[in-house]
Structure 1
């Protein structure tokens, strides 16, 4: 069983209304041993109909999480994380944000490409499915070429969640040059990737990223894989985790990873 959820959001993230303590209590009820909150911080997130700014109130978040860590220390391990939304134009600001902050875990993610979030329909109205996904991968490569202050890269094919074209099928070979460059750089820099079960929540056949991406990461020598639900409310915590041991084992994966003080620790499946 997988007993650690390393991608969780609470009301400290713009797109969640869930109190942290409510999430913690549900994690305890699920039998989880370790959780890591990874609140959103996306500098220069574009104006959107929901009014989300995705700017993290770090002092308030830090005060609450350390209070919760102490209060629940005998019931569950709670770790201090952040999900940085990276864009080529904000990398220096992101580096300054995490500098000297005692995070246990940092997810680097790409949510915005050309000031559009693939979550919004305009992205794939602007770019056809295959081109839009390629453009997304190009921005990831730009980000990791200049930014190294992360532990794993989150939901590497996040944009694919929102492709509506029924004729689209993902094949690694269609993006192999880009994806090989991304995965090699992640590995060379001592970083990892996450398996994010929100893909399953969105009705995809695989978590994010697609199994071909995970398989190639392993083939290239990658070892660091964290597991996260990307849950924004209690009912989505540890979403479909029961499916992952067989899924990962079939890809030749025997361990998953947790982080404390930004250092990886490997746990047998």
Structure 2
């Protein structure tokens, strides 16, 4: 049975399904465990409201954890969209609330969300990727209140270019990011939104996943990045098989910010 550790409900402004709808679908799919990771993205142009009402969020989570405890394990997570000005604010949130799991993602740079394309204006593809990865490296060097890095090569999803650059152009920076994460006891996720967006590779790429393994990384989660019930656990069988073939023996789940290694 699979564990989906990147799920958004309508507590995220872009979520399309309620918590209970997501839970019932996960039960139908016979998932072992799910973790809600709704969005907290502070200080972004056009959408400063992209945050979670924590009190209502945890009230709902606690209610459904108890209601469905005999059918599925439900964990309390969050996905932070990190920027360099937000390290202290997000770290304080983690201290204040009882999270099981925190995703560290980079959705925006200098308040410009990659989704809205502002960031890419007046930049060629190489410059945009280079800035993205350097900013991500700065995040992992200075922010430690997380468990895994979310969709590490997200820039490929939103870049409005005719090509997706090979990881080899940025392999030194990517290696630094992964080494820092491993040193800090952090992991990466495989995010199956790559299938939703018809990307030519996994997210992150197979090259990055293999590099993480070669560098000694062992903490890996699987997440659909589903914003509605129809995308839960998308292509997880393929992903679990791929990880096993690549040499990973375990998928991680989390409890109170501590990894639990589950045999594949």
Residues 103-142 of structure 1: matches in 2 within 5 Å?
Answer: 103-142=99-138
Instruction: Say if 1:119 and 1:159, in contact at 8 Å, map to a contact too.
Output: no
How many angstroms apart in 2 are the aligned matches of 1:182 and 1:14? 29
Question: Who is 2:55 aligned against?
Answer: 59
8 A contact 1:15–1:52 mirrored in 2: no
Q: Where do 1:60-209 residues align within 5 Å?
A: 60-166=56-162, 168-209=163-204
**Residues 1:249 and 2:244 aligned together:** yes
Runs of 4+ in 1 over 4 A off after TM superposition: none
Structure 1 segments unaligned to the other structure (5+ residues): none
Relative to the length of structure 2, the TM-score reads 0.96
- Provide the secondary structure at the position in 1 that maps to 2:151: coil
CA contact (8 A) 2:117 2:160 kept: no
Residues 14 and 52 in structure 1, CA contact (< 8 A), matched pair in contact too = no
Query: 1:9 aligns to what?
Result: 8
**8 A contact 2:83–2:110 mirrored in 1:** no
TM-score normalised over the length of structure 1 = 0.94
Cα distance in structure 1, aligned partners of 2:235 and 2:120 = 28
Task: Kindly provide the CA deviation profile for residues 179-205 of structure 1, in whole angstroms up to 9, marking residues without a partner as x.
Answer: 111000000000001110001210013
Residue 249 of structure 1 and its aligned partner are, at CA, apart by 2.8
Deviations 1:202-258 (A, max 9, x none): 001322111111111111110000000000000011111121123223322222111
Provide structure 2 residue ranges, at least 5 long, that are not aligned to the other structure: none
Q: Secondary structure at the match of 1:250?
A: helix
How many residue pairs get aligned? The number is 264
Match status 1:264 vs 2:259: yes
Residue 97 of structure 1: CA displacement?
1.1
RMSD value over aligned CA atoms? 1.4
| Secondary structure of residue in 1 paired with 2:262 | strand
Q: Which residue of 1 aligns with 2:215?
A: 220
